[in-house]
Each structure stands twice: as structure tokens, then as C-alpha cells.
Amino acid sequence: MVEALTIVLAAGLTRGWRSSLAGVGAATAALAVVVAALGPALTLVPIDALRLVVGGLLLVFGLQWLRKAILRASGYKALHDEDEIFTRELRDAETAAHEERAGLDWYGFTLSFKGVFLEGLEVAFIVLTFGSTQQNIPLAAVGAAIAVVLVAVVGVLARAPLSRVPENSMKFAVGVMLTTFGIFWGAEGAGASWPGGDAMILGVLAFVLVLSFVSVVVLRRRRVVPVTA
Amino acid sequence: MRRFGRFWWDFVVGDDWVAAAGVAAGLALTALLAAWWVLPLAVAVVLAATLVRATR
């Protein structure tokens, strides 16, 4: 969401707020349709099948996030820099050709739409998966909506990309959580029973945390040790 | 249509297909053995494999 705010700010400042906010509105409506359409359908799926699919998808997403976070923490990948992304988006938006469609600056509209929709799709996915496995999609949607409003309010107040948000640490935490729930639900959905029941989720969390920190330490050491021929 | 498929492939599978394939294999093995320890072990192996591929 922080990344979406950066894109919307760049589009609004360079291409006009009307087109940019229209893009935000259209993307938000599209995301609401995705959640509203898939939400009720997911409640009809048997819980074990749902946990298998949801667990698998969460694991795939979680491992992607975790992989990037570990590579960033160990110095193999550049840290996410919102200021740099903002500068790049501003430069691109300033140099793009002006094309008007439906009374809107098309570049500003599509830039905001794509930024919010693509970033929001991950949020919608998390809302649907966590909400459906706990059989409370509205509550999960409310949680996501509060987070969106919070980021938007802070963005309006700051009128600058949220570069002070510890985004890299937050992404590490999200990767750990997605992987933890992915392992837990995926195994349950595949027919395994966890010793200790739901309490074992803390054990899985500890396992993923240790695995992640060990990976960071190993990669950091590998990076500083000079390679000899 | 091709771009649509590409978008979903990138969205779900991401940068490294090994992670997605490893997760599918881990889930299949868990279903086969009905053992809780298979998936954490599979995740450890898949994470290590995908990190090695990224830093090679």
C-alpha cells in the first residue's frame, strides 16, 4: 500500500489530481468487486480443500516475500527505497506524452489505476484467504480497509512518499506470517494433524523465524568471505 | 489473452518457479504421508534452493 501511495502521489503531482484520484477510485471499485465476487464463492468450498489451496497459495506468496526480504537483509538485493521510486515515477510521468480520454489525462489515470490495483490485489488475496479460512471475510475486509485509510491519511498529511516507514522490516514480517499460515493450513488441508492443535502455529512461527534469520546470517557470511580461485 | 495469462503467472509464481513447484511437491508428499513435519521440511529445502539460485 505504501508503494501504491508513492505511485499515486507521483501521478497526482505531475499529471493532475483529478485523473490520478479517478484511477484510485476505479481500482478500489475493481478490487471491491473481486472481493465481493470471490468471497461468497469461497465460503461454499469444503474447509479442507480451501485450506489446501489457500495454504499452498499463501506459501508460494510467503516464500516470494521471504526470499526478497532475506536477500535484502543480507545485502544481495538493494533495500526498498520509496524516495528513489518516487523520483523515478515523477521523472517518467513528467516526460510521458499527454493523451486525453473521457476528460482525463490517460497516463495519470492508468498509472494510478495500475499502481493501486496491482498492489491492492495482494491485499485482496490476503483478505480473501485469511477471511475465508476463519469464515469471516467482512472482518478481514474491514481490517484491510482501516489499513488503506490509515496509509491514505498519513499520505495526505505528509504529502510525500512514506520513506520513514520501515518497509523492509514490515515486508520481512509479512513474509514470515504468510509462510507460517501457509505451512499450517497447507498441511492441515493435505490431511496432516498438528500435534498440539492450533497452538502449534506458534511453533511453526518460531521455525520460520529461525529459518529466516539463519538464512540471513549464512548469506551475509558468504557475501563477506572473499572467493578464492 | 497471452498477456492475461502472463500477468497471473507472474502474480502467482513470481520470480522463481522453483518455489511454486517445491510447494506443490511438499503438499503432495504431505497428503501422501499424512505427516505434519513434511511441509516445514519441504519449506526449508525450497527456501534454501531458491536463495542459492538467487545468489549464484
What digits encode the pLDDT tens for the residues A155-182? 767 666 665 666 778 788 888 998 999 9
A63 to B19: CB separation less than 8 angstroms, yes or no: yes
The pLDDT of residue A155 is 72
Q: At what angle do helices B17-33 and A47-73 cross, to 10 degrees?
A: 140
Q: Is residue B2 part of a domain?
A: no
What digits encode the pLDDT tens for the residues A136-147? 778 887 888 788
Least Cα distance to B29 among B20, B38, B19, B37 occurs for B38
The pLDDT of residue A39 is 74
Residue A104, beta-bridge partner list: A101
Nearest CB to A186 within list B16, B39, B54: B39
CA dihedral B36, B38, B44, B49 (to 10 degrees): -150
Which residues in chain B land under pLDDT 70? none
Q: Is residue B30 part of a domain?
A: yes
Chain B residues in contact with A71 (beta carbon < 8 A) = 51, 54-55
**Minimal-distance CA residue of chain A relative to B29:** A190
A123: Cβ contacts below 8 Å, ≥ 6 apart: A1, A31, A144, A147, A148
The pLDDT of residue B12 is 75
B40 to A183: CB separation less than 8 angstroms, yes or no: yes
Q: How far apart are CA A182 and CA A200, in angstroms?
A: 13
Q: Select from A51, A64, A122, A225 the residue whose CB has the most chain B CBs within 10 Å, as the one to mutate to test that interface.
A: A64
What digits encode the pLDDT tens for the residues A31-71? 888 878 877 777 777 777 888 888 898 899 899 989 999 99
Specify the 3-state DSSP secondary structure of A101: strand
What is the widest separation between alpha-carbon atoms in chain B? 40
Cβ burial B23-44 (10 Å sphere, 16+ → b, else e): beebbeebbeeebbebbbebbb
**Is residue B55 within 8 Å of A76, Cβ to Cβ?**
yes
Q: Is residue B3 part of a domain?
A: no
Across chain A, mean pLDDT equals: 82
Give the number of domains in chain B.
1
What digits encode the pLDDT tens for the residues A172-223? 888 899 899 999 999 998 999 999 888 999 999 999 999 999 999 999 988 7
